[in-house]
Amino acid sequence: MQYFFLNLLYTLLGLNFSATYYQPDDDISTFVSTYWLVENSGNKNNITSIPDAFFELVLSKDEDNEFEIWLLGLGTVFEDNKEMPATKMFGISFKLIASEYIFGQPIADIKNSAKKLPEGFWGFDENDLQDITQLIEKVNNKIKESIPGIIDLRKKRLFEILYQSKGAISVKELAEQSCWSSRQINRYFNHQFDISLKSYCNILRFRSSFEHLKKGKLFPEQNFSDQAHFIREVKKLSGVSPKKISKNENDRFIQFSTKPKK
């Protein structure tokens, strides 16, 4: 069951679903973007996945009561006609730095894909999905325990700047501000994530544009060169125009239709 379609943002076609987002503790925000819960109690439906700037750890239980744990890689392309069964899923959206300092390994091999994790990974089982509040506390504690004592300050600074700028920054500026050469940064990104820094900035900037599109702002605000460039980037990464995303007909986009919980 390849759940690589869930990179936090979906295009849904007539699903009987609910989706909720939760914020992690402040002291792990360097590594975690958000937690989310999706429940689809309807029939199997086709969806279209859209690139997100994070990778996910997902706990899922489908209509056959099969419990699975998946690690979903960084999505870089939109994909049509992915099947979503009736299911309940809890996910942790990790910032890229977590691949090295929480999981201790690159995620380059699962870009646009996923891998099933062993039973009992991080002590998770299907009972965890019964109480989301307790599950979030469990996840918070597990991540805190996993944070190493020493973190490369160049990498920490690099990702802080990336997320603060929402990708609207040049590779040259990132290198200067993080005191790390652009060549070394790209080598790190290609090895760890199988993506260039510039391409990742484009995805991060695309993601941040949704806040503007939600408000009906169809013009670029994240350092796009012009309107045509903005439209091209949105279509490239979503398959639809900014106007179509902004309309959000039939609540097609989960991220447009739900509100976060603290």
Output the CA–CA distances (angstroms, integers) from residue 174 to 73, 182, 187, in the order listed. 24, 8, 14
Query: For the ranges 9-13, 112-116, 205-209, 214-218, which has the lowest average pLDDT?
Result: 9-13
Decide if pLDDT at 230 tops 90.
no
Give me the sheet containing 10-12, strands edge to edge. Answer: 10-12, 45-49, 79-84
The residues pairing with 62 across neighbouring beta strands, listed in sequence order, are: 87
What pTM was computed for the model?
A: 0.83
Tens digits of residue pLDDT in 166-187: 988 999 999 999 999 999 999 9
CB distance 95 to 33 below 8 Å: yes
Q: What local confidence, expressed as pLDDT, does residue 208 receive?
A: 78
